[in-house]
Amino acid sequence: MAANALSAPLGKDGPSKKRRWALRPGWIGAGISLATLVLVVLWVIFVDDPLGGEPVVVVAIERQASGVTKKDVEVVAIRPSLPSSGNEAASDTEEAAAPPPEIEFTDDNPSDPEQARSLSTTPVEKITEAGRYGKVPKIAKDGSRPLDLYAAPVARGAQDSPKVVLIVTGLGLSQTGTQEAIRLLPPGISLAFAPYGSSLDRWVQRARQEGHELLLQVPLEPFDFPDNDPGPHTLLSKLSSSQNMDRLQWLMSRISNYVGVINYMGARYTAAPDSVTPLVQELERRGLMLVDDGSSSRSVTERISEELGAPFAKADLIVDTVSTPEDVDAQLLRLESLSRSRGLAIGVASALPVSIERIAEWALGLEARGVYLVPPSFVARSGQS
Q: Is the pLDDT of residue 16 over 50?
A: no
pTM check: above 0.75: no
User: Span 56-66, mean pLDDT?
Assistant: 41
Split at pLDDT 50, 70, 90, the class of 118 is confident
Q: What's the pLDDT at 25?
A: 60
Q: The domain containing residue 305 runs over which residues?
A: 125-382
Phi-psi region of 341 (alpha: psi -120 to 50; beta: other; left: phi over 0): alpha
Determine, yes or no, domain membership for 91.
no
Residue 375's identity, in one-letter code, is P
Split at pLDDT 50, 70, 90, the class of 256 is very high
β-strand 260-265 against 135-137: which pairing, if any? Answer: unpaired
Q: What's the pLDDT at 42?
A: 62
Q: What are phi and psi of 249, to 5 degrees?
A: -60, -45
Residue 319's identity, in one-letter code, is V
Q: Is the pLDDT of residue 67 over 50?
A: no
CATH number of the domain that 216 lies in?
A: 3.20.20.370
User: Span 268-286, mean pLDDT?
Assistant: 98
Q: Which of 204, 230, 228 is nearest to 218 (CA)?
A: 230
Q: What's the pLDDT at 55?
A: 46
Q: How far apart are the C-alpha atoms of 131 and 145, rounded to whole Å?
A: 17
User: Span 362-380, mean pLDDT?
Assistant: 96
Percentage with pLDDT > 70 across the chain: 70
Lowest average pLDDT, out of 106-110, 157-161, 165-169, 348-352, goes to 106-110
Determine, yes or no, domain membership for 115.
no
| Average per-residue pLDDT for the chain | 81
User: Span 125-147, mean pLDDT?
Assistant: 97
Determine, yes or no, domain membership for 135.
yes
Determine, yes or no, domain membership for 95.
no
Split at pLDDT 50, 70, 90, the class of 27 is low
User: Span 300-307, mean pLDDT?
Assistant: 98
Q: What's the pLDDT at 270?
A: 98
Determine, yes or no, domain membership for 101.
no
Q: What's the pLDDT at 45?
A: 56
Question: What stretch of H or E contains 44?
Answer: helix 25-46
User: Span 50-74, mean pLDDT?
Assistant: 40
Split at pLDDT 50, 70, 90, the class of 41 is low
Q: Is the pLDDT of residue 373 over 60?
A: yes
Number of domains in the chain: 1
Q: What's the pLDDT at 383?
A: 78
Split at pLDDT 50, 70, 90, the class of 384 is confident
| Rounded (10°) angle between helices 325-342 and 353-364 | 40
Q: How far apart are the C-alpha atoms of 150 and 247, rounded to whole Å?
A: 23
Determine, yes or no, domain membership for 307.
yes
Question: What stretch of H or E contains 129?
Answer: strand 128-130
Q: What's the pLDDT at 98?
A: 33
User: Span 304-315, mean pLDDT?
Assistant: 98
Q: What's the pLDDT at 50?
A: 45
Q: Which residue has the higher pLDDT, 246 or 16?
A: 246
| Rounded (10°) angle between helices 175-184 and 353-364 | 0
Question: What stretch of H or E contains 261?
Answer: strand 260-265
Q: Which residue has the higher pLDDT, 102 or 297?
A: 297
Using one digit for the tens of pLDDT, what is the confidence trace for 87-99?
333 333 333 333 3
Q: What's the pLDDT at 23?
A: 54
Q: Which of 234, 232, 332, 345 is nearest to 279 (CA)?
A: 234
Determine, yes or no, domain membership for 148.
yes
Determine, yes or no, domain membership for 259.
yes
Q: Is the pLDDT of residue 289 over 90?
A: yes
Q: Which residue has the higher pLDDT, 40 or 53?
A: 40
